[in-house]
Each structure stands twice: as structure tokens, then as C-alpha cells.
Amino acid sequence: MTDYYGVADLNRSEALLARRSVSITVDLDAVRHNLSMARKLAGNARQFATIKADAYGHGAVPIAHALSKSGIRRARPDDSRLIEDQGFADGFAVVTLNEALELRESGINDPILILQGPQSESAAQAMLAHDLWPVIHDWGQYCWFRKLSYKQDLAAWLKVDTGMGRLGMSVDQAKSILQSDDGMNWMGLMTHFASADETSNSYTLEQYSRFNSVSIKPGMSKSLANSAGVLHWPQTHEDWVRPGIMLYGCNPLDKSVPDGIELKPAMTVEAPLISVKSLEAGAGVGYAQTWHCPENMPVGYIGLGYRDGLPRVLDETASVSIQGRRCPIIGRVSMDSIAVDLRPAVEASVGTMAQFWGPLSSIDALAKAADTISYELLTSIRGQRTYTGE
């Protein structure tokens, strides 16, 4: 029998695997561990686990359930270690209403911060109805919420632009709003850092000073620190921190993480060799023949290309790990495959897995070879996602 996918005698999941075999494995224990590192650094500050963009490509719903205190207890009722080690979130941060509703529908009842707030008046009403915490960064949004009945029940955060030059009220606008009698229930004041990853750049402290020039109302909280702030700028931790990229094992800083802090890669991306050839010296490889064999050598072809989210342009430092050895990527990235120099792993054959990033391969190194950042690789990669540590 031939199914919709045109693959005979295979069930649906086998057929999907036969079509594309890019493997994405997410280690939930690694994510919990990384959040415990954020807690270790931030002390008593509460934690918004930032899971926007489908948890940076890791899957927002499974990540939220893995980090929710109630979710941990359901998954491991006889194991209190994770709670004691504080590998859980106090709330979650997303960008859009739809992201938040997906979490609510999956059973997440923790606080959910919506970083871009509503994009319409009806969305503002929905945020109130679903007990969500909107970030208000624009005067129009502020006006929508002011018109709502029961606005005193809203847990709203006011965002001030302290120098990012992106979203947020001006410092003067924020001061005016918080000094007014608008009937709003302001949960907190927040901002976002532009250069916290640059550890010698004093601009973060300038933003911190501008932020503190805004007087908050009694009972309001403060939130400033992203992952870089958590890792390097302790004065910015305040009441709530918002770790993002560090939850997934990536270091955003321009230097190593602090002593005593270990970030574990949460995502491993692999794909198999689909062909192995012996090419003669001088043979060209790939489109435009940009790479030529310096000697008679084995060349492998891996079933992952730019259709799967790998950047098309990589420099000569790009490599993958095959059988624990670094194998350079050679020639141009194709839509469905890449070529690799198999001289370091001559025993490899069709079906041998190549690791693009994970415990054996640095995502930061591959990102550098693509002149990009780890965030882009994580959110772009596509494949069959499985989870460990549930």
C-alpha cells in the first residue's frame, strides 16, 4: 500500500523519517539545569523563563511544562530534587497573544508575560480575560487598556526605552504615566538592554541609571536583566530576571561565563551521511566547483541543507562532528545536503550520523562560520524533534 507520502509499506512516522532524517534532540534536564544556574546568579530574583519563538526552536509547550513547578511534580512525583535545585520558572515570557494562549490551552497556569503586548483592542481584552501579563510599550496600547472595565484587575507591565531604541515609552512618558491617577494596576516596570553582552561596555550602566530615574508606585516590581544581564550585571537583577538564550545552553557574553557556572547545550542536531564517495585529486565539489580535492580522498554527503535551516554561506572553518572527529564542511551548502571532508573519519559510511551542534559540536563555532549568532541557528533549524529528561 502506498500512502499520501508515496512511500510503500511504511507507516506515517516512518514515511516522514524516510523523507527527511534531520534529528533534533532536546534535553529537558539541561534546560532545567541552566535555569538553576540563572537562579544561582540572580539570588532572590524571580525568573521569567523566556520561551518566545517556540522556545528558541526547542518547543514552547514542552519547555514550559518542563520548567513549570507543577509540571515537574507531575512528571516526577517522587523526585523533589528538581524543586530543591530550583530548576523551575516563576513565570514565562513570550512575544504574542497566540503564544500565550497556546500555553494556557496546554495547561500552563503560571504567570505569562507578553513582551510586545496587544496589537489590537480586542487582543487587550483577551489578555485581561485569560489572566495574562501584558507589557505596555506604546501610547496606543496604554489607551486601549485605560478604556477597559475592570482594568484594576490587569497585571500590566510598563516598558520604558532607556536606550535600546526599540520598543518602550520614553523616560518622560513613563514618569508621567506612573504619576497619573489612571486606575491601572501596574505590576511592574521593565526595560531591555542593548549591549549587555559586551562586558566592558558601560552603556548598560547608563541604561540602568535612566531606568532608576523613573519612580515606581508602591508594590511594583522591576525587571531589567536578560541572559547577559543575569550572567554579568548583578546590579540589574532586581525583582524579576528574564533569562532566554542561556536556558538553552548558549553564552551570550563576549567572554566566558562566571566561575562556578556551567551551561549545558539543550539541543543536539544531527543528520546521516547519505552518500560516501572516493574522489580524485583536483575533483571539484558542489555548485560552482568552489572547492577542489587536494588529494585522492573520501567525501561524504549529509542529508541536511539550507531547506532545513542551515545557513547557505559558511566559511572554511565550518565543520561537523562524525564519530567524535571534526570533519570540515566543503563546497557550497545545497538545498538538501552538504559535503564534508571525511579524511578525519575514514571509517564513516552511509547512515553514520553527523552532529552539527550539541555536546560534541559548538553551535557558537558554527554560527561564527556563518557570520551569524546562535539564536538564528536555533530558531531556523527544522527537523524531527524528540525530548529526553521528561
52 is catalytic: yes
Region of residue 101 (phi > 0: left; psi between -120 and 50: alpha; otherwise: beta): alpha
Instruction: For residue 203, indicate whether it is catalytic.
Output: no
Q: Would strands 338-341 and 291-292 be described as parallel, antiparallel, or unpaired? A: unpaired
Helix (H, G, I), strand (E, B) or coil at 27: strand
Residue 352, all three cell numbers = 553514520
Q: Over the range 313-346, which residues count as b (16 or more CB within 10 Å of their CB) and which as e?
A: ebeeebbbbbbebebbbbbbbbeebbbbbbebbe
Contact 377, 53 (CB under 8 A): no
Considering 5, 147, 277, 287, which one is annotated as catalytic? Answer: 287
Q: And the C-alpha cell for 127?
A: 489578555
Buried b (16+ CB within 10 A) or exposed e, 69-106: eebbeeeeeeeeebeeebbbbbbbbbbbbebbbbbeee
Question: What residues pair up with 321 in beta bridges, in sequence order?
Answer: 326, 355
Catalytic, out of 4, 40, 52, 264: 52
Distance CA 304, CA 313 (A): 14
| Catalytic residue IDs | 52, 287
